[in-house]
Chains A and B, each alone.
Chain A
Amino acid sequence: MPHIDFKNDLPGIRSAMAFRPETAGPLNQLAQILLRDENGLSRADRELIATLVSYRNDCFYCHNSHGEIACIYLDGDRNLVNQVRQNFETAEISEKLKALLNIAAKVQNSGKDVNEADIERAKKHGASDVEIHDTVLIAAAFCMFNRYVDGLATYAPTEMDSYPVRAKQIAENGYGTHVYSQNQPK
């Protein structure tokens, strides 16, 4: 049972967004820029960062939702998404993305854990300042989204075939008011 009465039966963050559209506006705008911008990091990279951080925050709804979105951008390679969840250092991804995921993993614990060696490693593999910025902010933003979703005990579907359906909606239309409209993808 959710901690508050959302007055809707939408899953996860969608229920909280429908409850309070005034805050949903900037939250969706933030997600849209951080996860959909094609400058620097790819959309797959961005969703993988979101997935790793959500997984480490033990947020079932978020890590499954964003894992499925990443999966779509990776042409269905769910195995790669799982590699990133389990151990990104040995995953079949670029050294640059590993270095950025290392920064994201530090941010997940505390911003202060990111040290100069972490930044040097990312820069050595070609990460730009904007890519480092976006990595830190995606990781920080999911420390917010995860806490919002779990702190209010929102409903997390256990029917796993519902996640790809919602992921398809995001991959096609991005983030915006449509995610919390009553007309949900089926």
Chain B
Amino acid sequence: MSQRLFKNIKPKKMAHINVEEGVPGIRSLALFRPETGKSLYALAQVLLRGESPLSEAERELIAAYVSGRNNCRFCMSSHAAAARCLYGEDSNVVDEVLNDMDHSSTSAKMKSLLRIAGQVQILGKEVTDADILNARSYGATDREIHDTVLIAATFSMFNRYVDGLATFTPTDESEYKAMGERLAEKGYVQPKTQA
């Protein structure tokens, strides 16, 4: 009941540009400018769902982790929800990483990759040889390091895009759960309509 009521509240703060009201985050921007939306959704699809030695769950977790560090609620909540779906019965790891990555139950290798992602979130130059050696000591390959850096870099873009234009950020967690299920099931499909 309370969730239903929440959904009907119009966002108080308007986006900086005239996007469709009530459409959240990146979806509103892809509808506003489909030409850029097309390449952005294609990038997300290949990066987060394409062939990679990292699982889809791990890649969504990197995206959520970087978005959390960038304080981007829309991106963090939606990708955390997707990661929870993809991790299935191990979904606790998502919230552990978002709360305290170093003390989470994820593998030492995944921690070393998340550490690299966190450095990229600050700035590319912050990734040191020691960070790379650490990841390699746990078996990380060139492709895994590449994908980690590009996911972290890409979310440093998406987060700024979504917040820089003050897009609508739902505050109802159940909306993110639905988004996460859709992302886990269907991947990144450029929106054509509001629905």
Contact = CB atoms under 8 A, between A and B. Distances in A.
Interface of A: 3-5, 16, 19-20, 22-23, 25-27, 29-30, 33-34, 37, 57-59, 103, 106-107, 110-112, 114, 116, 119, 129-130, 132-134, 136-137, 139-141, 143-153
A144 B33 contact: no
B32 interface: yes
B152 interface: yes
A4 B124 contact: no
B36 A111 contact: no
A8 B42 CA distance: 25
Contact of A144 (B42, B116, B142, B153): B153
Given A30-B36, A58-B125, A151-B120, A140 B145 contact: no
A38 to B, nearest CB: 13
Task: Say which size band chain B's interface belongs to.
Answer: 35 or more
B67 to A, nearest CB: 11
Interface of B is mostly: helix
Nearest to B41: A26
Nearest to A135: B164
Most buried by A among B16, B50, B120, B164: B164
A147 B70 contact: no
A136 B161 contact: yes
